[in-house]
């Protein structure tokens, strides 16, 4: 569920940004002329209008303003408590967080999450929630309450002190303070896909089974050029409802955006991004995670599976998940210069953020000994400058200083730069995080071309040991 944080003042922007960095899927709306436009995702003219539009579209609404302002804005739209989205007021200094509406859609849970960000308590007023620390009537995405008509009596029995037996798997309830007892005879919570025999003594939840409409596509846009993006990827982007990704990659596909909601992330924690996309898909959205190049090569596809495996959310396992391949940077770089990957090769990321440098060194050594052509991803960043020099020294123990090396920067994007040098002359200053490097094997050749600055580089298919 997308959270719209609506602010009226520049002071509110600070609060809104804190909410955005702490919760997934937040879009900030700022009042035009009162807040700096570049600080918010959208500007609006009229508070009442934007609030009503977002409310009707089912957005969770967080107003950084007085509760009264929001209440008056949505008052005329209130007619169905089962449908209304969460509406929450947050004080301009973050000192108070008040869930106003949408208790059945998880308003209290979101209010608590926001309150946690500001080290305060959410002003929860619904009694079941206060006592049991869970909203029985608002199960997480994927689950549905089969017999809401019995909920009121069930809840008052709980509040009167009766204990309850849980049949089935309900991770969100386990963490609550519900008076669970295996021997309880009065009340039962049943997690089942059949309707069974609901009564006011048995609350029945349907677990997530299949999400006929919820889909997740992990796509690769190719290295950057439109003509290197597959038709499948273009179609998936067009037909989806939500795009999730690192801002740089979302910007690359922004010209193709029509109605899709962007969920930009600046943070480098891929697992968070994957979890956010999985949650959106589990809630029935058609979600695309945008990677550059190929999504399965040092990119988001593996992060999605890590999230599914390590985070206990059964509803994710039913998502219709599809990986759409793309042209990887090494293929594009190779194509620009000839055929350096024409014989056996390997791809190695030089980033030691997710693996220890000792493992990288061991792999480099083994690959050098095996005489593979090597494609290096993530060769350098502002935090990692020495790794490439160290790589060069290591490779020089096994390979001649005249081994061809290709430095390919921004392939397929504006500012593309391809250079050919040798291992002996490789200089870490020639690479950055938008560069990929191909180091030849003992067989890789440079062919000079007349009338061209760049030679051809290729690796023959036949092997002649030295
Ligand atoms: N999934 C991507 C790789 C992501 S890792 C793919 O398959 O291409 C990020 C690294 O990829 C960068 O540090 C750089 O080494 C390389 N890279 C990605 N796009 C590139 C491009 N257009 N030109 C050159 N290198 C690129």
Find, among 79, 18, 21, 89, the residue nearest to 51 by Cα.
Answer: 89
Span 214-258, pLDDT tens digits: 899 999 999 986 889 999 999 999 999 999 999 888 988 999 988
Gap between the Cα atoms of 133 and 116, Å rounded: 14
**End-to-end CA, the chain:** 61
Percent of the chain at pLDDT > 70 equals: 98
Find, among 245, 242, 254, 167, the residue nearest to 203 by Cα.
Answer: 167
CATH code of the domain containing 197: 3.40.1390
Find, among 201, 204, 246, the residue nearest to 221 by Cα.
Answer: 246
Do 7 and 114 share a domain, yes or no? yes
Which range of residues forms the domain containing residue 147?
A: 138-207
Do 118 and 161 share a domain, yes or no? no
pLDDT value at residue 142:
72
Q: Which residues line ligand 1 (CB under 6 A)?
A: 223-224, 291-294, 297-299, 328-329, 377-379, 408-413, 433-436
434 CA distance to ligand 1 centroid (A)? Answer: 6
Please check whether residue 133 lies inside any domain of the structure: no
Give the predicted TM-score (pTM) of the model. 0.61
Residue 247 backbone dihedrals phi, psi, to 5 degrees: -50, -45
pLDDT at 127 over 90: no
pLDDT at 211 over 60: no
Do 144 and 157 share a domain, yes or no? yes
Task: Using the atom order of ligand 1, give the atom closest to the CA of residue 377.
Answer: 15
Neighbours of 258 (CB within 10 A): 6
297 CA distance to ligand 1 centroid (A)? Answer: 9
Gap between the Cα atoms of 181 and 187, Å rounded: 10
**In 3-state terms, what secondary structure has residue 331?**
helix
Q: How many CA atoms lie within 13 A of 425 on its CB side?
A: 10
Gap between the Cα atoms of 444 and 446, Å rounded: 7
CATH code of the domain containing 381: 3.30.950.10
Span 278-304, pLDDT tens digits: 999 998 899 999 999 999 999 999 999
Exposed/middle/buried for 187, CB within 10 Å: 0-12, 13-18, 19+?
buried
Span 329-382, pLDDT tens digits: 999 999 999 999 999 999 999 998 888 999 999 999 999 999 999 999 999 987
pLDDT value at residue 213:
60
In whole numbers, what is the pLDDT of the chain averaged over residues?
91
Please check whether residue 93 lies inside any domain of the structure: yes
Do 203 and 219 share a domain, yes or no? no
Higher pLDDT, 114 or 209: 114
pLDDT value at residue 80:
83
Please check whether residue 463 lies inside any domain of the structure: no
Do 166 and 227 share a domain, yes or no? no
pLDDT value at residue 466:
61
Report residue 128's pLDDT band, with 50, 70 and 90 as the boundaries.
Answer: confident
Please check whether residue 375 lies inside any domain of the structure: yes
Report residue 267's pLDDT band, with 50, 70 and 90 as the boundaries.
Answer: low
Do 58 and 152 share a domain, yes or no? no
pLDDT at 413 over 80: yes
User: Mean pLDDT across the stretch 196-215?
Assistant: 77
Contact 406, 340 (CB under 8 A): yes
Contact 459, 341 (CB under 8 A): yes
Please check whether residue 115 lies inside any domain of the structure: yes
The kind and range of the H/E element at 164 are: strand 164-167
pLDDT at 56 over 60: yes
């Amino acid at each position: 569920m997308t959270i719209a944080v609506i602010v009226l003042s520049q002071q509110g922007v600070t609060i809104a940004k804190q909410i955005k960095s702490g919760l997934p899927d937040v879009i900030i709306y700022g009042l035009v002329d009162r807040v700096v436009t570049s600080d918010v995702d959208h500007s609006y003219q009229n508070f009442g209008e934007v609030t009503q539009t977002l409310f009707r579209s089912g957005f969770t609404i967080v107003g950084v303003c007085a509760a009264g302002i929001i209440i008056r804005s949505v008052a005329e739209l209130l007619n169905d408590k089962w449908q209304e989205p969460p509406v929450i007021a947050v004080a301009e200094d973050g000192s108070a967080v008040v869930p106003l509406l949408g208790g059945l859609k998880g308003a209290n849970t979101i209010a608590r999450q926001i309150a946690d960000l500001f080290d305060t308590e959410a002003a929860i007023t619904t009694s079941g929630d206060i006592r049991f620390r869970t909203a029985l009537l608002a199960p997480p995405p994927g689950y549905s309450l089969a017999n809401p008509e019995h909920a009121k009596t069930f809840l008052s029995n709980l509040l009167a002190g009766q204990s309850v037996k849980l049949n089935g798997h309900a991770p969100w309830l386990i963490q609550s303070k519900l008076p669970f007892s295996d021997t309880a005879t009065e009340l039962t919570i049943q997690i089942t896909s059949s309707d069974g025999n609901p009564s006011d003594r048995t609350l029945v939840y349907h677990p997530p089974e299949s999400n006929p409409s919820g889909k997740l596509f992990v796509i690769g846009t190719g290295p950057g050029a439109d003509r290197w993006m597959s038709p499948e990827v273009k179609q998936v982007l067009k037909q989806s409802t939500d795009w999730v990704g690192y801002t740089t990659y979302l910007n690359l596909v922004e010209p193709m955006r029509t109605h899709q909601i962007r969920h930009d992330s600046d943070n480098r924690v891929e697992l968070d991004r994957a979890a956010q996309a999985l949650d959106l898909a589990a809630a029935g959205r058609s979600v695309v995670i945008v990677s550059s190049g190929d999504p399965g090569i040092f990119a988001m596809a593996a992060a999605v599976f890590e999230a599914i495996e390590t985070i206990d959310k059964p509803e994710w396992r039913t998502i219709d998940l599809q990986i759409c391949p793309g042209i990887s940077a090494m293929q594009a770089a190779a194509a620009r210069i000839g055929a350096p990957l024409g014989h056996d090769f390997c791809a190695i990321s030089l980033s030691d953020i997710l693996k220890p440098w000792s493992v990288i060194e061991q792999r480099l050594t083994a690959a050098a000994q095996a005489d593979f052509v090597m494609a290096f991803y993530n060769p350098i960043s502002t935090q990692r400058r020495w790794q490439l020099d160290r790589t060069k020294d290591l490779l020089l123990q096994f390979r001649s200083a005249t081994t061809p090396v290709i430095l390919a920067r921004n392939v397929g994007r504006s500012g593309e730069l391809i250079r050919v040098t040798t291992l002996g002359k490789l200089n870490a200053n020639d690479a950055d995080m938008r560069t990929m490097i191909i180091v030849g094997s003992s067989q890789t050749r440079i062919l000079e071309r007349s009338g061209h600055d760049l030679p051809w580089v290729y690796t023959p298919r036949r092997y002649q040991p030295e």
